Amino acid sequence: MSAIEELALEFAKLPGIGRKTAMRLTYHLLKQPPEASKRLAGALATLSERVHPCGTCGNLTETATCAICTDPRRDASLLCVVEDASDISAIERSGEFRGTYHVLGGRLSPLDGVGPDDLAVEPLKRRVAMGDVREVIVATNPSLEGDATAVWLQRELAASGVSVTRIARGLPVGGDLEYADVVTIAQALSARRVMA
Amino acid sequence: MSAIEELALEFAKLPGIGRKTAMRLTYHLLKQPPEASKRLAGALATLSERVHPCGTCGNLTETATCAICTDPRRDASLLCVVEDASDISAIERSGEFRGTYHVLGGRLSPLDGVGPDDLAVEPLKRRVAMGDVREVIVATNPSLEGDATAVWLQRELAASGVSVTRIARGLPVGGDLEYADVVTIAQALSARRVMA
């Protein structure tokens, strides 16, 4: 196989990148100075060597414990449970959350063979049992499986006496009633709040 | 900068990949075994070392002369001029062309500062002057600049007496009259052919 086909093949393995885009990316790099490909190659090579899960929350980090867990200004009594580490950066970008996180490592998904034993619920229970946690916010995705996982988590944590909450559902900011799906509209209506 | 941010930054430099997609690709690779990133890194690193332009036509190749130029079954009297080497693989996929190619290295674009001296027209003239070329098919893109480049090429080659043709324009296969732009429809009409 030629070097061009080889690189295009590797690009095409990435999510959302088809054969044509993979070729376009490859030809783009061929038009750039060789340093462009080399920098990308270097960043890829060091990625898996430097990055691993945080020993406390499961967030991806280059240190033993991640920057959020070690930050004394973060509220450790507020624990936000997410499916994946990538969800943490999405929430962090909102700048609204000052608590800490716990990465579940997925969601209950019988069809994909993901059961309770595949998710990091025991480490979560241990963190809650240590007594410092006041509230667990379940921020699994607002999907069927994410919701089922939330209900299951709530039951798992019920004995501990901690308060378990779920992120709100409703119309997204900038959304349009006309184009919203009926389930979202129904949820936005039933979760309506008194205006201050 | 963290290894994650570094890789996302490099991904985001690629065409059509924004900040969010770059992050998604990075997190995807973090979920894969390290070999996935390493294979992509390897393909990137060897790309610029192994690939360079063909000495005859300018196509990208790993040998001194490309596989098309050295293929004795290709018709060397038929020369297809393209803007970029990536256009060659697009035409090759159609399986319709059995001649050879010449890569111009771009198109006339005064706004981008690309003039006649930046395009490989002198090597093209030399190939034509050698007398083996019967027809030059100008396959620059059907854009304003591609068309201007085609007219300019036709004038440059007029003295050589070689036949200069332009790829046909019209409605694309599977296209829909209702959604076609007016210029394409006008060209499809004026270039109509008698049905056999």
Q: Do B37 and A29 touch (CB under 8 A)?
A: no
pLDDT at A99 over 80: yes
pLDDT mean over B110-120 = 93
pLDDT at A173 over 90: no
pLDDT at A127 over 90: yes
> Over chain B, what is the mean pLDDT?
89
pLDDT cut 90: percent of chain B above it: 58
B-chain CB neighbours of A44 within 8 Å are 7, 29, 37-38, 40-41, 44
Mark whether A79 and A154 lie in a shared domain: yes
Mark whether A89 and A158 lie in a shared domain: yes
Q: Do A43 and B86 touch (CB under 8 A)?
A: no
Mark whether B22 and B62 lie in a shared domain: no
Mark whether B21 and B77 lie in a shared domain: no
What gap in Å lies between CA B30 and CA B34, rounded to an integer?
8
pLDDT at A77 over 90: yes
* pLDDT value of position B196: 62
pLDDT at B185 over 70: yes
Q: Do B37 and A44 touch (CB under 8 A)?
A: yes
pLDDT at B194 over 80: no
Mark whether A86 and A141 lie in a shared domain: yes
Whether A68 is in a domain gets the answer: no
Which residue range is the domain that position A21 belongs to? Answer: 3-50
Whether B158 is in a domain gets the answer: yes
Mark whether B45 and B57 lie in a shared domain: no
A-chain CB neighbours of B17 within 8 Å are 25
> Residue B79: which of B10, B153, B1 has the closest Cα?
B153
Whether B187 is in a domain gets the answer: no
In total, how many domains does chain B have? 2
Mark whether A103 and A157 lie in a shared domain: yes
ipTM of the complex: 0.71
pLDDT at A184 over 90: no
A-chain CB neighbours of B25 within 8 Å are 14-17
* pLDDT value of position A154: 92
Q: What is the pTM of this model?
A: 0.69
pLDDT mean over B15-33 = 91
pLDDT at B1 over 70: yes
The least confident of A113-122, A170-179, B48-57, B93-102 is A170-179
pLDDT band at B193 (very low <50, low <70, confident <90, very high): confident
Q: Do B14 and A30 touch (CB under 8 A)?
A: no
Mark whether B77 and B44 lie in a shared domain: no
Q: Do B3 and A62 touch (CB under 8 A)?
A: yes
Substitution target in B29, B40, B112 with the highest count of A β-carbons within 10 Å is: B40
> Over chain A, what is the mean pLDDT?
89
pLDDT band at A192 (very low <50, low <70, confident <90, very high): confident
pLDDT at B152 over 90: yes
Which value, to the nearest 10 degrees, does the dihedral of the CA atoms of residues B37, B38, B44, B46 take?
Answer: -170
Mark whether B68 and B140 lie in a shared domain: yes
Mark whether B107 and B34 lie in a shared domain: no
pLDDT band at A57 (very low <50, low <70, confident <90, very high): very high
- Of the candidates A10, A25, A89, which has its C-beta nearest B14's C-beta? A25
The CATH number covering residue A36 comes to 1.10.8.420
Q: Do A14 and B29 touch (CB under 8 A)?
A: yes
Whether B195 is in a domain gets the answer: no
- Of the candidates B2, B38, B49, which has its C-beta nearest A45's C-beta? B38
pLDDT band at A31 (very low <50, low <70, confident <90, very high): confident
pLDDT band at B195 (very low <50, low <70, confident <90, very high): low
pLDDT mean over A138-156 = 91
- Of the candidates B2, B48, B49, which has its C-beta nearest A62's C-beta? B2
Whether A181 is in a domain gets the answer: no
Q: Do B44 and A43 touch (CB under 8 A)?
A: no
Mark whether B16 and B73 lie in a shared domain: no
DSSP assignment of A108-149, as one string? -BGGGTB-GGGS-HHHHHHHHHTS---EEEE---SSHHHHHH
Task: Find the radius of gyration of the CA atoms of chain A.
Answer: 21
The CATH number covering residue B86 comes to 3.40.1360.10
Contact A83, A146 (CB under 8 A): yes
- Where are any strands of DSSP class E within chain A? 52-53, 60-61, 75-82, 99-103, 135-138, 163-166
Whether A180 is in a domain gets the answer: no
Interface A–B counts its CB contacts (< 8 A) at 135
Chain A residue with minimum CA distance to B93 = A20
pLDDT at A196 over 70: no
Whether A98 is in a domain gets the answer: yes
The least confident of A56-70, A84-98, B53-67 is A84-98
Whether B181 is in a domain gets the answer: no
Amino acid at B154: Q
Mark whether A93 and A27 lie in a shared domain: no
